[in-house]
Structure 1
């Protein structure tokens, strides 16, 4: 199969491409705008493969999208290109509207036009896989708000996005489903929990804390740090996404989670504990933890029910949070050059997303 991966130079997209090239016979066309979070250094291990091609294209550019489809003739699309950082969406929502909504619309239309012209067999086999987030569902009851068994996000959970980021992703999900319903375009949707692992841009919690800790900087915790997230190792996610695009049923939605609910403060304390062992110093890394004003509209709890993925597509995560986190920390310790190269002068791990009164 030949798969067009949008956003393939990003964190999850690059993991998907590495997985496909390393573990299958399929070919990949990586289509990426190369914004601040997209970096071809994450694909050094596969860039010379004869099954890999790169196209420097913005999904908002319909002319270029049409050229790519006609030139490469993909059998499937895995759409990961998106603005994804909640804090950035609070202070600059425009990019999120353009990329996540307008860009998805452009990609859908370019793909649909291409699909309509395919021969019957190729048309029947074609797939458009849209990769989304659990944040579209809003938040869930927190243990300090409700006793007993707590609910999880399922594929039937109603959408209730809280941030400009999650609202833009919810909008793109609705577009994808509308193209299925209205045009019969063969789409699938996946919604995943928080990813972590190697090659993660250091504005996100885990790489930010690792790098700040090593440099003796403060480790900022929003509010009380009791926000709960379900953590999914990125390589487990890549395996799941490939399962969906090759084995998933058209029109279906699949939730992908790591089965690892942790409070943010637990995550940071665990990182500090591992660093105390791997890179010991005179003081404990946890002494660098600092509590800061919470993020506006911060969801308190996310948790994914992956039963459908397990039952229908025979996928479960391999990594526990502890094994995946240790692998992640060890990767950052041995890849400091990558970390320096991906951080340009416009972002030095300062706080983003504060609203000026």
Structure 2
């Protein structure tokens, strides 16, 4: 008797309201749902009960990466169907101590950031837009290109910062610098970007020089924890897609460092992937994509912010905008697959495909969200009374 198959069949009952087929390694097939199958999942080798109980996402993610799980039909439709039930996936956090380590030292965080972001600027340039923006775009219109959506996002954030000429702006986790470059050109602000990625630092430094923006911008290899004792002060602070790397133990420390360098009544705009509640994270994502990555909930960040007298002026969800952004990235990735194969093996390519499409599906299903929060450091009575200034 194949006990592992019996357990797997039992687990698959969580999808009984969906219509698809599963083919097992011995060619036996079972059909779920009462209607015509929308796709077929083919399992080429046995999957143990122990692995499913340890981490559902990890075992099935690895099966796909290794070519032991294939999908006949629409890959995104499969993920949208399966990840609708993500809350019922199993994770034994105690059985994966290395993946769910609470180490958040500066060296550890730099190592984790470098693992993902230092794959090479040439790799990212193949599927990001020309701004090299690696965060959620903002689709004012459905027909917006990826570049238009990223420029929309940048300008949406700059409007929320309520910038004026001569103000100082800090970008924590500045990436390749697109936001600060646009801020300098449009508003003539004095800006500083900080990052832990050597590749991003070098690229941003060269962009500052090529755009002749040395008078306005600078970039430093710097950890956010160094801000408190840096002596730096800014009128505005922005952070886009960086909080997810901080770790739950350090959210308070992050907010403290921001409050230390932000002038009284200054504006802080925080843009980050969020969860509905506080989770330890996804095992597959932490092992292969974002080591140490944790998604904060909206409520815990709002709660912590009050400790530093941050007033919440505005909260906006861009959940479906991130879904569209990821699908644009995935489309570009597929278009450039031959060039990517020259740099990476098939396992890496399947891993990256799973990452881009599964994240799009998680946003679609509300497993994760994207929030932008506008804070002021203490009371600010000078902001416009309505949100019109953001959309003018």
TM-score category of the 2 structures, normalised to the smaller one: 0.3 to 0.5
Larger Rg: 2
Q: TM-score, normalised on structure 2?
A: 0.38
Q: TM-score, normalised on structure 1?
A: 0.41
